[in-house]
Amino acid sequence: MNLGHRKPSSGSVLFEEFRGRMPSHESIVAQEIERSVERLASGADEVRAKFSAIFSVAQSEALRAYALHQLVSGDRVLADCIVSKGRDNLFAELANFFTEVRRARKAFRIVAFEATAQSLFRRCGLPFEEFSTTDGIRSFVMPSMDDFNAFSGECIIFAASGAFNEFWAQFIVRETQNATIFLALPRNEVGLVQLERLQKLPINVLVTSSVKEDVDPHWCFPKLTTFEDFFEVNVSPVLKRWEKRRNQSRAKLSAA
């Protein structure tokens, strides 16, 4: 039996038709981020100060928009299916179809979380460059790769993941030397089991202010911080140091 050339199930065909009617995940998220930033912030300083609020609004609105697109696209596809196929084998087709729809919704949640975190981070007016993309997780280094190569201990690594990835965690710890690592995680990834695993790694966890308020204080996880505290406590103090070193480098180049 040649499984490599197996004909796709009717449910898969139905889902492909449904997916073809849906806008891309990225376009849905990008639109809601634009709306949320426009409504809640007027510049980089406000994005940093209201990061949790903007993040939460953009996330919930993206999920709402995705659900509405699913309803419209799903109704059209299912109506066409019933008209064209009648009721032959309908239950099996619909069972497969809704299984794939649930998987797509879960995938969208991950995309929405990561894309929102990365997009808002880019709007914070901070110096950064892309560090790496491993297992689909994009990470950034502040202030730059040149600084990282020369003074890794004074640099910050920022990344966002909709699901904790052990392979990525081990890779980033190994590759970033002694830089300080911050990983943004969604609410469903900030449980006792996940935090106990992260406790063993030199990784700080970033969450919205509402998520941190919900975390049981008895868990004693000091490496859990809000986005706002991250910018104020961890980033702001080193900005001047980064700029001073950059100015010194420029002066040396000019004098040479």
SS3 assignment for 17-80: HHHHHCCCHHHHHHHHHHHHHHHHCCCHHHHHHCHHHHHHHHHHHHHHHHHHHHHHHHHHHHHH
Total number of domains in the chain: 2
Hey, what amino acid is at 49? A
Same domain, 118 and 133: no
Distance CA 192, CA 171 (A): 23
pLDDT in tens, 111-162: 999 999 999 999 999 999 999 888 788 899 999 999 999 889 999 999 999 9
Quote the pLDDT of residue 86: 59
Distance CA 108, CA 70 (A): 12
Quote the pLDDT of residue 199: 83
Half-sphere exposure of 197 (CA within 13 A, CB side): 11
Lowest mean pLDDT among 73-82, 90-99, 152-161, 243-252: 243-252
Same domain, 117 and 137: no
* Predicted confidence (pLDDT) at residue 4 exceeds the cutoff of 50: no
Quote the pLDDT of residue 90: 78
pLDDT in tens, 48-60: 999 999 999 999 9
pLDDT in tens, 165-205: 888 888 898 888 889 999 999 998 888 778 888 888 899 99
Across 87-99, average pLDDT: 81
Same domain, 109 and 19: yes
CA-CA-CA-CA dihedral for 110, 112, 114, 115, to nearest 10: 150
Burial call 222-236: b when 16+ CB within 10 Å, e when fewer: ebbbbbbebbeebbe
* Predicted confidence (pLDDT) at residue 82 exceeds the cutoff of 80: no
Whether 1 is covered by a domain: the verdict is no
Across 85-96, average pLDDT: 75
Residue ending a domain, among 122, 155, 190, is 122
Whether 213 is covered by a domain: the verdict is yes
Same domain, 144 and 222: yes
Task: Give the angle subtended at the CA of 108 by the CAs of 53 and 73, to the nearest 5°.
Answer: 115
- For residue 87, what pLDDT band results from cuts at 50, 70 and 90? low
Structural domain containing residue 81: 8-122
CATH number at residue 158: 3.40.91.80
Quote the pLDDT of residue 151: 87
Same domain, 109 and 17: yes
Distance CA 221, CA 78 (A): 48
Same domain, 224 and 173: yes
Distance CA 32, CA 208 (A): 18
Residue ending a domain, among 91, 122, 153, is 122
